[in-house]
Structure 1
Amino acid sequence: MKHIAIIAPDGQSNLSSVACIVGSYEIFSEANAYWAKNGHNPKYEIQIVGVSDRAEFSKGLVSIKPHTHISELKKTDLIIIPSLARDFERALAGNIAMVDWMSEQYKNGAELASMCTGAFMLASAGLLNGRTCSTHWSAVNTFSVLFPHVKLQSHRTITDEAGIYTNGGAYSFLNLLVHLIEKFYDRPTAIYCSKLFQIDIDREFQSIFTIFSGQKLHDDQEIKQAQQYIESKIDEKISVDQLSSKFSIGRRNFDRRFLKATGNTPLEYAQRVKIEVAKRSFENSRKTINEVMYEIGYSDLKAFREVFRKITGMSPLEYRERYHKSLA
């Protein structure tokens, strides 16, 4: 029988961490039961593992008693890392020990799956350098600054590379669990679990849920001024040449500095700012698509639709119908 280890972290956790741990344990247990019901031998032993006798969450509101300590678990096949709290830079001693243990297990053939901001633990171990990764959209700016060598794909719900899996924000960990069940059991078991727990199967993108706030956790003051200028001119079409000239920076150098500071080209940044304003208009007003388009500086409906779909994964009409209650 193979083994699945669900991590109970030492601090740096919240109630989302509990949801990830309990959800993983329940859904994998159900997959095991379905597998056995269909005539197979038991496939996985599922355990919650930790670095203490009891892991407390939300100031003691909830506690979990791990099945075993990491020092007693010499071999596992899959390690699941739950969502973590937002004090990412402060690693507790127990979690440092956990990172070392995970790294050793990965070297010995274990696969790793992080949920939401659990990707910070994987990245801190250096296991994501040069690899793709997703995390919660609200943590993207911090993640990009702390781990510049990771290929962050925050628009994706799930990434799957070299035996390392990550997923996007919050309760999209449920989509990752279905993906893992298909990998570690089979497609029929994944479909069964998706139906039993009412989880969408094969959801690839989390772009529709993203709220773009701009990447300003950098020290390039001229680029910050350029960002603020873009954000103040929502209704205008600003060229990159115009921007670089305004701040007396050569075009190529401006592009390079802007991308390094924000993770977006100047054009991408302007598009994201405008589309975020359009999304709020669709959510909170009865304005037509054309009215919203003109307000954010677009005059070509086809171009607006293409940019909106590229960023959100939906057409403007689909987005408005989903998020404006009175139009639904």
Structure 2
Amino acid sequence: MPTHITVLALPHMLGTSITLPMEILHAANANLIASHKRQNRFEVTLAGQTITPVTITGGLTITPQTSIEHIEQTDCIVIPGLWRNPQRSLRQLQALTQWLKKQYQQGATLCAAGTGVSLIAEAGLLDNKPATTHWFYFDNFQKHYPRVQLQQHHLITQAGRIYCAGSVNSMADLMIHFVGVICGHSIATRVEQQFSQEIRRSFESIHYSFTDNRNYADETVLQAQLWLQQNYQLEVEWSALASQLQVSLRTFNRRFRQATNQPPTAYLRKLRLSAAKELLQQSNVSIAEISDLVGFKDESYFARCFKQQYLLSPSDFRRSVRGKLFSLSTITDAASSPGTGS
């Protein structure tokens, strides 16, 4: 059965905080049908407090397909960011707040963008849980919801079935993550390639969660991760690392896998590929040099691993990204040149 996603249409919302997630989910369905001849995995419904058209930021109007009272149960709810101070809108959204609470209690996953996180906090669902919101409203949010564990240094937080994204771009990162969970890594990567992969950071690199691999209690594994993040380009002697951490190699491997759901070699490979991806995006260093710089001593092996992870060869990935960046820089340079635009 398809996963049912309810996208909320609210007055004075940021339109991109719902249109971008909807486009990503549509792209996932399209890629599934094109690649695997499967049916849609996402069924998306746009719902409002009523079916009356709502005016969003910029003066546009959006007409909901249905009202929330007609949705008895849904798998996931996308909550948009609200323009300016969200407290001004909450008084008119009390019925929605109660509906969100009911849906969450029935098993729905909640995903809020920016100031839309206030709706979940208003329902009391974030008490004693981590959350984030738009940076401009950190102080305001903390004042109104002192029991929420506000994570000011994370763009995405997870507390069980509640996800908070600090911005519209972070909501896009979150949607890509969901596509990967439900449709698989291959489809998620294909969708990512359609949505500005040159500026995206992965969900795993920016989110905070009660169950985040970087937040668990095994201090030995955490120390190993920190060491690997700082020394991924080196040739790692796993027995020496285990000895440095005062455990046997067998114990180290077992505890690392138990804590992160992957062996240390796979974790290291992902670190190296992520670093290579950034170098391909941001530098003119040759692919052979990048392979060596991030710790791959065999360029062919690096290319195979990169394509397996990102579905493009390093050279194809660089062409796709640098072409977009070049176009963007050209526009920026032209706009800032003396004598233009007058």
Q: TM-score, normalised by structure 2?
A: 0.56
Aligned to 2:138, what secondary structure does the other structure show? helix
CA distance in 2, matches of 1:148, 1:184: 34
What SS is found at the alignment partner of 1:80? strand
The match for 1:198 among 196, 201, 205 is 196
Name the counterpart of 2:20: 23
Does the Cα contact within 8 Å between 1:77 and 1:111 map onto a contact in 2?
A: yes
Residue 201 of structure 1: how far off its partner (Å):
4.3
**Offset of residue 98 of structure 1:** 1.0
C-alpha displacement at 1:90, in angstroms? 2.7
Could you say which residue in structure 2 is the equivalent of 1:82? 80
Task: Work out the CA distance in 2 between the residues paired with 1:46 and 1:111.
Answer: 14
Task: Note closer, same or farther for the CA distance 1:3–1:148 as it changes in structure 2 (3 Å cut).
Answer: same
Q: Distance in 2 between matches of 1:185 and 1:102?
A: 26
Shift of 1:178: 1.3
Alignment length (residue pairs): 203
Q: Is the Cα contact below 8 Å between 1:154 and 1:168 reproduced in 2?
A: no
**Alpha-carbon deviations, 1:40-63, whole Å to 9, x = none?**
23222111110132111237x201
TM-score, normalised relative to structure 1: 0.58
CA distance in 2, matches of 1:159, 1:47: 24
Q: Does 1:147 find its partner at 2:148?
A: no
Taking only the aligned residue pairs, the percentage that are identical comes to: 28
Letter in 2 for 1:32: N
| C-alpha contact (below 8 Å) 2:158/2:164 kept by paired residues | yes
Secondary structure of residue in 1 paired with 2:15:
helix
Cα distance in 1 for partners of 2:201, 2:176 equals: 7
Structure 2 match to 1:57 = 56
Match of 1:35 in 2: 32
Matched, 1:111 2:109: yes
Q: How does 1:1-328 map to 2 (within 5 A)?
A: 1-9=2-10, 11=11, 13-14=12-13, 17-37=14-34, 38-52=36-50, 53-58=52-57, 61-92=59-90, 94-199=92-197, 200-202=200-202, 204-205=205-206
Instruction: Measure how far apart 1:69 and its partner are.
Output: 0.7
| Residue pair 2:15, 2:57 contacting (<8 A) in 1 also | no
Write the distance in 1 (CA, Å) between the matches of 2:125 and 2:46.
22
Gaps of 5+ in 2: 208-331, 334-342
Q: Partners of 1:93 and 1:151 in 2: how far apart?
A: 23
RMSD: 2.2
Report deviation, 1:94: 4.7
Deviation at 1:102, TM superposition (A): 1.0
- Match of 1:86, SS state, is coil
Q: Is the contact between residue 134 and residue 168 of structure 1 (CA under 8 Å) also seen in structure 2?
A: yes
Cα displacement (A) at 1:74 = 1.0
Per-residue deviation, 1:156? 1.0
Provide the C-alpha distance between the structure 2 equivalents of 1:87 and 1:136, rounded to a whole number of angstroms. Answer: 11
After TM superposition, give the deviation of residue 170 of structure 1 in Å: 4.1
Check conservation: 2:86, 2:116, Cα contact below 8 A: no
Partners of 2:6 and 2:164 in 1: CA distance: 16
What SS class does the counterpart of residue 177 from structure 1 fall into? helix
Alpha-carbon spacing, 1:164–1:72, altered in 2? closer, same or farther (3 Å): same
Post-superposition, which runs of at least 4 consecutive aligned residues in structure 1 deviate over 4 A? none
Deviation at 1:109, TM superposition (A): 0.7
Change (3 A) 1:170 1:32: closer
Q: Using the alignment, how far apart are the partners of 1:92 and 1:161 within structure 2?
A: 22
1:289 is aligned to: none
Query: Partners in 2 of 1:185 and 1:113 — Cα distance?
Result: 18
User: 1:156–1:205: 8 Å Cα contact kept in structure 2?
Assistant: yes
CA contact (8 A) 1:194 1:201 kept: no
Partners of 1:191 and 1:201 within 8 A in 2: no
Q: Deviations over 1:49-103 (max 9, x none)?
A: 10132111237x2011111111111111000001112232234555211111111
